[in-house]
Amino acid sequence: MGDCGYLMPTVNCDCDAGIPEYCWVTNVPIQIDGETYYRTAEVYRSIGVSRNTLYAWLRRGVLGQTELRDRRGWRLFTQKEVDQLKTETGRITTTNRLVGNHA
């Protein structure tokens, strides 16, 4: 299955599931012990980046080294982590480029 977890029938699907008349359900946060958690697909879609970009940020340690997972091993995000990632989308970085001597 995909990273958001549920396959549901739908008529107006605009996702990329590739399965006619079916769509991965998104924006369905889960509750565990009174805390709300979001799955990977919910997060990258809500912050407006690709899955690859989100994974790259996680490899770089944008959220630190601790990660939460459910029983199936799927990554879970807290609202605080989602807010941190939203901040990352607006961050501007500078790069120093070495310029060779052109005589």
Determine the Cα–Cα distance for residues 78 and 39; give it in Å rounded to an integer. Answer: 9
User: Among 3.20.20.10, 1.10.1660.10, 3.40.1350.10, 3.40.50.1370, what is the CATH number of 29-89?
Assistant: 1.10.1660.10
Q: Is the distance from CB of 69 to CB of 75 less than 8 angstroms?
A: yes
Q: Is the distance from CB of 37 to CB of 76 less than 8 angstroms?
A: yes
The per-type count for the chain, helices as H runs and strands as E runs, is 3, 6
Percent of the chain whose predicted confidence (pLDDT) is above 90: 44
C-alpha dist (Å) from residue 62 to 25, 27, 65, 82, 102: 26, 22, 9, 11, 38
For 38-48, the pLDDT digits (tens) are 999 999 999 99
Q: Is the distance from CB of 58 to CB of 44 less than 8 angstroms?
A: no
Would you kindly state where each structural domain of the chain is located, as residue ranges? 29-89
Determine the Cα–Cα distance for residues 8 and 24; give it in Å rounded to an integer. Answer: 7
For 20-40, the pLDDT digits (tens) are 444 445 557 888 889 999 999
